[in-house]
């Protein structure tokens, strides 16, 4: 019997090639999108789960509070004393490990590279995290100072096929480190990716930290601190005990300005969006979004099948009637139609797999992931795919199967079924549903595009174009002036400035500092970010002064006690105008001095954050960045000159640079990817919806052949017939627009709140989406309508 069902199903697919192609194409594209987005979601949900103790590892986070109790700074890092003290005060904690991210110049022989993703790690790091150590003893590799472990790719980069164990490398042209182990890189699905691990005990001899600083420095919150808790241990017990712990270990009022919290390792990638993270994280909202898009597109594909299968019922009604007359029972007919549906979806799945194989490399390019087709072969995922395929086949074919088998033979032979199908209410609801989804995606795409354009054109308060960034290091101060003069000797270079940080990065507070103002220099309750700059930083970025003056070499005191604030800081400190602030006494931490100028506000950080209050001063030993403003004349020649000067001043350092506008664009890479995905999948949703409209218009023209012929004989024009045949579909599209618009407005208005500065959702966005939808639907329907209207009425009436 099953063989017979499949034979009839295949015969029907081949007999009606146009409808079969439309159905298979729609379902295949829908399944392909579903599979690719499922791979994306699966990848996002698998972060950090490769660690054997993933469910027991928690990260210690520290949040600072203003005096009014509001959060002023949320850090995914903590001060160095927390780690060992937590282990002492809470013996139930099995392990505590600290990591400190550092950048260093690594040299071996003639090979020298500026390296990132280097971490100072405590010796017990391998008892907490799961690393695949291929060479060396993980229990002892990081015990001794000046020990370093390389990831396999880094070992191959420096040593090729040589055995690196025991070899000596030099860091920052100062210290020699012994290689004690090699480890495999952590998977892509990790919230941090170390290329090197340096023994944490080395920091005891470090000029910045030192053994005393590691024990007592509560202001340097740069250390990632992870706790391994016992099985089935409730982390809330620790969180509740943290206030008393801080009051006991730091000072009696520590819990009033500092809050400690724990976050599960496997939650960091999707749920942690703090002011300091090791790497940029994902967002659970995008997982929900792409899951919804995957389901929506699959639903649209199923709706197409249900619509077309129900529409084709008129052509098969007599078949159903004849089968019932000669003895077929209803459940047999239901199986027949469901087998056809499952066969069509199975064929569609094969085409969908081919589409996934072709499109996955492009998906990887703009998501910056390494999604693999092999993931589909995972037994669990494969079983889900098979289940989804069967469910899709049953869901798409269920209504047509039960609807068609409910026909009474007498009604079929009297021709009452065709008129019922012609005005199917369910089919109209399904068309409205699929176009509402498509219209909502079009509106969302337009809003995301407008926001990205708004960001690109937003006046940041400084010039970001053609500013070249060099990371020279804080030890570059000795030869900076000489280097600057050599750089400016080239006519293509207008300014060269130095700073502790560069725009597009986050500004952090110095938590061992207090902000003071006025003659009494009493501490204030405001939080202000700090930025160390030289006299050329403000001119290099073309930042405008609101009052006072810039730092100047003519005033020697500027380098020791001069301050420049921005307008936001002035307002926060209580001065009415920038001019009121100039000349007043001001202090930041242990620096006491005078406000010499106020800049206009500029967006140092991304537009996700409001303009931060900033205090600028000129501490020379903190300036590790150089900003070179290049004119538009000859950038290539300017780059060659900069490289030549760099090699003269820093012969032991490789020349590496980046442009600020590119770095600025990286702040919104996630939104740019979202914009592209919205556009692609909105287009796919529209395309699948149009396939359904095309199939339905073909069906409607077919069952109205006699009506069209009669109207043409009575003098109806081709235009009036096209309008007649298109009118019903356009009404459904208009209803879909009315339904989709408020839903899309709510969703995108919520998304825009993530930006401190954002565009408004204007009426023309909805008008444009409506016009696009109507034109697409009209074009799709008119294609078949014109064909039907041009048909010779003699042939249509004769056939009737």
Q: Tell which wins on pLDDT, 204 or 577.
A: 577
Q: What is the mean pLDDT of residues 255-265?
A: 90
511 pLDDT exceeds 50? Answer: no
Q: Are 278 and 67 in contact (CB under 8 A)?
A: no
Residue 39 makes CB contacts below 8 A (sequence gap 6+) with 360, 371, 372, 375, 376
Q: What is the mean pLDDT of the chain?
A: 81
Q: What is the pLDDT of residues 600-621, one digit of tens each?
A: 998 887 777 778 888 898 876 6
Q: What is the pLDDT of residues 561-595, one digit of tens each?
A: 889 999 998 988 888 899 998 988 888 877 888 89
pTM for the predicted model, two decimal places: 0.79
* Residues in the chain, overall count: 800
- The secondary structure of 153-190 as a DSSP string is HHHHHHHTTS--TT-EEEETTTEEEEEEEEEPPPPSSS
Tokens 């034109």: give the residue.
775
DSSP letter at 314 equals H
**Is residue 302 classed as helix, strand or coil in its secondary structure?**
helix
242 pLDDT exceeds 90? Answer: yes
**Alpha-carbon span 252 to 245, nearest angstrom:** 10
What are the angstrom distances between the C-alpha of 344 and each of 14, 338, 481?
A: 11, 10, 74
179 pLDDT exceeds 80? Answer: yes
Q: What is the pLDDT of residues 525-545, one digit of tens each?
A: 677 888 888 898 898 888 999
pLDDT band at 465 (very low <50, low <70, confident <90, very high): confident
Helix 330-367 and helix 669-703: axis angle, to 10°?
150
418 pLDDT exceeds 80? Answer: no
- Give kind and range of the element (H or E) at residue 728: helix 718-752
State what percent of residues in the chain have pLDDT above 90. 22
**Alpha-carbon span 608 to 109, nearest angstrom:** 44
Nearest to 700 by CA among 781, 608, 596, 756: 781
Report phi then psi at 149, rounded to 5. -115, 140
Tokens encoding 224: 């990632």
**Alpha-carbon span 639 to 647, nearest angstrom:** 12
Q: Tell which wins on pLDDT, 590 or 702.
A: 590
Q: Are 167 and 136 in contact (CB under 8 A)?
A: no
Nearest to 341 by CA among 379, 302, 375: 302
512 pLDDT exceeds 50? Answer: no
Please report the sign of the dihedral spanned by the C-alpha atoms of residue 341, residue 342, residue 343, residue 349: positive
**Alpha-carbon span 88 to 513, nearest angstrom:** 28
97 pLDDT exceeds 90? Answer: yes
Q: What is the mean pLDDT of residues 690-697?
A: 71
What are the angstrom distances between the C-alpha of 291 and each of 45, 295, 498?
A: 12, 6, 45
Report phi then psi at 95, rounded to 5. -145, 150
**Alpha-carbon span 797 to 778, nearest angstrom:** 27
Nearest to 688 by CA among 304, 294, 289: 304
Q: Tell which wins on pLDDT, 209 or 106.
A: 106
Tokens encoding 588: 């930041």
Distance in Å from the first CA to the final CA of the chain: 36
98 pLDDT exceeds 90? Answer: yes
Q: Are strands 614-617 and 529-532 parallel, antiparallel or unpaired?
A: parallel
Nearest to 775 by CA among 728, 724, 730, 723: 730
785 pLDDT exceeds 80? Answer: no
**Alpha-carbon span 32 to 348, nearest angstrom:** 9
Q: Tell which wins on pLDDT, 418 or 723.
A: 723
Best-predicted range by mean pLDDT (225-239, 422-436, 530-544, 744-758):
225-239
Q: What is the pLDDT of residues 642-682, one digit of tens each?
A: 888 888 888 777 888 888 777 777 667 776 777 777 778 77
Q: What is the pLDDT of residues 214-231, one digit of tens each?
A: 888 887 788 999 999 999
Nearest to 32 by CA among 688, 693, 773: 688
């Amino acid at each position: 019997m099953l063989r017979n069902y499949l034979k009839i199903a295949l015969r029907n697919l081949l007999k009606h090639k146009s409808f079969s192609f439309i159905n298979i194409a729609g379902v295949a594209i829908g399944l392909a999108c579903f599979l690719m987005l499922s791979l994306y979601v699966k990848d996002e949900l698998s972060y950090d789960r490769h660690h054997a103790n993933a469910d027991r590892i928690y990260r210690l986070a520290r949040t600072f509070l203003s005096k009014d109790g509001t959060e002023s700074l949320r850090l995914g890092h903590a001060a160095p004393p927390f780690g060992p003290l937590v282990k002492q005060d809470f013996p139930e904690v099995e392990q505590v490990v600290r990591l400190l991210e550092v950048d260093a110049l690594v040299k071996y022989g003639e090979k020298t590279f500026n390296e990132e993703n280097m971490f100072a790690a405590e010796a017990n790091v391998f008892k907490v995290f799961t690393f695949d150590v291929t060479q060396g003893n993980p229990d002892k590799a990081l015990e001794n100072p000046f020990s370093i472990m390389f990831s396999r790719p880094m070992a191959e980069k420096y040593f090729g096929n040589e055995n690196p164990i025991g070899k000596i490398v030099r860091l920052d042209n100062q210290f020699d480190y012994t290689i004690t182990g090699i480890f495999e890189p952590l998977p892509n699905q990790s919230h941090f990716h170390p290329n090197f691990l340096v023994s944490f005990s080395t920091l005891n001899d470090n000029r910045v930290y030192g053994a005393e600083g590691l024990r007592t420095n509560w202001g340097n919150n740069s250390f990632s601190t992870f706790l391994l808790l016992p099985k089935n241990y409730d982390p809330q017990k620790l969180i509740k005990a943290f206030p008393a712990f801080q009051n006991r270990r730091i000072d009696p009022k520590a819990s009033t300005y500092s809050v400690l919290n724990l976050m599960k390792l496997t939650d960091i990638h999707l749920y942690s969006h703090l002011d300091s993270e090791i790497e940029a994280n994902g967002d659970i909202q995008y997982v929900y979004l792409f899951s919804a898009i995957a389901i929506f597109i699959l639903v649209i594909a199923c709706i197409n099948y249900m619509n077309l299968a129900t529409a084709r019922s008129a052509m098969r009604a007599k078949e159903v009637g004849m089968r019932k007359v000669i003895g077929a029972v209803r459940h047999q007919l239901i199986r027949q139609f469901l087998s056809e549906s499952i066969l069509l979806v199975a064929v569609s799945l094969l085409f969908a797999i081919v589409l996934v194989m072709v499109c996955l490399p492009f998906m990887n390019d703009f998501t910056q992931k390494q999604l693999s087709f092999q993931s589909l072969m995972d037994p669990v995922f494969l079983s889900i795919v098979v289940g989804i395929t069967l469910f899709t086949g049953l869901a798409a074919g269920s209504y047509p199967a039960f609807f068609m088998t409910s026909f009474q033979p007498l009604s079929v032979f009297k021709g009452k079924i065709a008129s019922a199908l012609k005005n199917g209410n369910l089919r109209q609801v399904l068309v409205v549903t699929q176009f509402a989804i498509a219209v909502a995606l079009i509106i969302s795409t337009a809003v995301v595009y407008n926001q990205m354009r708004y960001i690109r054109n937003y006046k940041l308060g400084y010039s970001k174009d053609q500013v070249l960034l060099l990371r020279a290091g804080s030890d570059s101060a000795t030869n900076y002036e000489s280097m600057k003069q050599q750089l400016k000797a080239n006519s293509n270079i207008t300014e060269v400035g130095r700073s502790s940080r560069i725009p597009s990065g986050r500004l952090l507070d110095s938590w061992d500092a207090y902000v003071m103002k006025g003659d009494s220099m009493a501490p204030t309750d405001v939080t202000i970010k700090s930025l160390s700059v030289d006299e050329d930083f403000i001119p290099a970025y073309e930042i405008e002064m609101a009052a006072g003056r810039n730092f100047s070499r003519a005033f020697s005191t500027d380098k020791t006690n001069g301050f420049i604030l921005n307008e936001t800081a002035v307002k926060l400190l209580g001065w009415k105008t920038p001019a009121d602030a100039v000349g007043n006494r001001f202090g930041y931490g242990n620096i006491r001095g005078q406000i010499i100028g106020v800049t206009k506000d500029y967006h140092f950080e991304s537009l996700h954050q409001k303009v931060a209050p900033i205090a600028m001063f000129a501490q020379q030993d903190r300036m590790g960045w150089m900003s070179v403003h290049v004119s538009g004349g000859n950038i290539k020649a300017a780059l060659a000159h900069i490289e030549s000067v760099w090699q003269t001043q820093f012969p032991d350092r490789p020349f590496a640079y980046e442009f600020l506008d590119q770095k600025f664009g990286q702040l919104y890479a996630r939104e740019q990817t979202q914009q592209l995905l919205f556009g692609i999948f909105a287009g796919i949703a529209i395309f699948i919806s149009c396939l359904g409209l095309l199939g339905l218009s073909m069906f409607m023209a077919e069952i109205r052949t006699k009506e069209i012929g009669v109207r043409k004989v009575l003098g109806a024009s081709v235009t009036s017939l096209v309008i007649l045949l298109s009118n019903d579909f356009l009404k459904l599209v208009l209803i879909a627009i009315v339904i989709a618009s408020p839903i899309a407005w709510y969703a995108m208005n919520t998304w825009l709140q993530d930006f401190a500065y954002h565009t408004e959702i204007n009426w023309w966005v909805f008008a444009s989406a409506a016009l696009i939808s109507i034109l697409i639907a009209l074009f799709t329907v008119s294609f078949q309508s014109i064909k039907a209207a041009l048909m010779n009425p003699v042939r249509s009436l004769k056939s009737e």
